[in-house]
Amino acid sequence: MVAAKVEDLKQGARDELALLDQMGGAIAAIDYMKSRLVESNAARLGRIETNETVVVGVNRWQQAEPSPLTAGDGGIMTVDPAVEQDQIGRLEAWRAERDADAVAAALDALRQAARTGGNVMPASIQAARAGVTTGEWAGVMRAIHGEYRGPTGVSQAQSNRTEGLEEIREAVDAVSARLGRRLKFLVGKPGLDGHSNGAEQIAFRARDCGMDITYEGIRLTPEEIVARAQEQNVHVVGLSILSGSHLPLIEDLMGRMLAAGMGHVPVIVGGIIPDDDAARLSAMGVARVYTPKDFQLNTIMMDIVGLVAPGAAAA
């Protein structure tokens, strides 16, 4: 039985690789692979929600000792703000002491090489010797080539996996009718962590529940998220943060939301967030905080509808 299962897995892998070859290889098929990954994870999560798949500590045998990630000392490292300010000060001092003309010349040479498709290595070495920072080097590359945004795997089109979502879809339709347009939900992924599963599954389920979703992938700044929320006049903003940097990122975002005149838009947050931090987020104005124990996505979807419904008439 084990040998048969192994052979079955191997054959499945061979079939998938053959399909990728037919599509032109991995680079050409990157959108397909990402979407299949997200769909597969959505199916797995659905089986967990219905208890078809048992995950110890999630949907069965949940009683346990406090998690070291969210309780006690050492779970999430927080850096003293003074350390950040010290680094900023040293960077500013470095920039002030270097030869500004040499830096400008090096950046011009780098820009020219990038624009013409030449070898950027000599210009990069020259830039390093002149004292150009990594951020300045990358800024030239972005200005010439743009910034790559990887596929999210979450399309705008609803999937055919809508069983069990009827009640939520009806609630979304009702609220959308009151709003005069489809309930608009922006899922943001601020910070530097690359763990996108949570954000993808929230966006995937919200889409299948009938919401108009916006999700543009990982590593967005609070400034970019608020700008998009304002541009699209969203009804809810959802943030997924697994880097442990939820407090400073959300404090920044909430301030920007207020400055943009969007203080009335509910903000929800998901991540590995200790109870004390959750209380601080609530004090900042965050409407809901979700942690890994909140695996029932349909409950979160109904929460979103509930957050929007009271203000629907004013939207």
* pLDDT single digits (tens) 35-49: 999 999 999 999 999
CA distances from 261 to 86, 238, 254, 258 (A): 33, 17, 11, 5
- Nearest-angstrom CA–CA distance, 226 and 224: 6
Q: Of the ranges 109-118, 130-139, 241-250, which one carries the lowest mean pLDDT score?
A: 241-250
What phi and psi, each to the nearest 5 degrees, are found at residue 186? -100, 125
- Taken in order 193, 199, 201, 207, is the CA torsion positive or negative? negative
Asked if the model's pLDDT at residue 272 lies above 70, the reply is yes
Asked if the model's pLDDT at residue 118 lies above 80, the reply is yes
Asked if the model's pLDDT at residue 314 lies above 80, the reply is no
Asked if the model's pLDDT at residue 1 lies above 60, the reply is yes
Instruction: Provide CB contacts within 8 A for 223, sequence distance 6+.
Output: 256
Residue in the block written with tokens 């950040």? 84
The stretch 286-307 carries a mean pLDDT of 94
3-class SS at 7?
helix
The stretch 174-191 carries a mean pLDDT of 95
Reported residue count of the chain is: 315
Exposed / middle / buried, residue 101 (Cβ in 10 Å: 0-12, 13-18, 19+): exposed
Instruction: Provide CB contacts within 8 A for 29, sequence distance 6+.
Output: 19, 20, 23
Q: Tell me how far apart the 2 most distant CA atoms of the chain are, in Å.
A: 71
CATH architecture of 166-314: 3-Layer(aba) Sandwich (3.40)
As beta bridge partners, residue 240 has 270
More confident residue, 141 or 158: 141
3-class SS at 82?
helix
* Residue 69 pLDDT: 65
Q: Which amino acid is at 51?
A: N
Average pLDDT in the chain: 91
Task: Look up residue 76 and give its DSSP letter.
Answer: S
Share of the chain above pLDDT 70, in %: 95
Instruction: Provide CB contacts within 8 A for 274, sequence distance 6+.
Output: 70, 71, 75, 76
Task: Note the pLDDT tens digit of each residue in 55-111.
Answer: 988 888 888 777 776 666 656 777 788 998 999 999 999 999 999 999 999 999 999
The stretch 206-217 carries a mean pLDDT of 95
Q: Which two tokens stand for residue 146?
A: 């743009």
What phi and psi, each to the nearest 5 degrees, are found at residue 311? -100, 15
Neighbour count for residue 21 (Cβ, 10 Å): 12
Asked if the model's pLDDT at residue 22 lies above 80, the reply is yes
Provide CATH 3.40.50.280 ranges for the chain. Answer: 166-314
The stretch 264-280 carries a mean pLDDT of 93
CA distances from 10 to 5, 7, 44 (A): 9, 5, 20
More confident residue, 156 or 132: 132
* Residue 315 pLDDT: 46
Q: Which segment, 43-47, 52-56, 209-213, is predicted with the most confidence on average?
A: 209-213
- Nearest-angstrom CA–CA distance, 136 and 93: 15
Q: What is the pTM of this model?
A: 0.84
* Residue 83 pLDDT: 93
Share of the chain above pLDDT 90, in %: 76
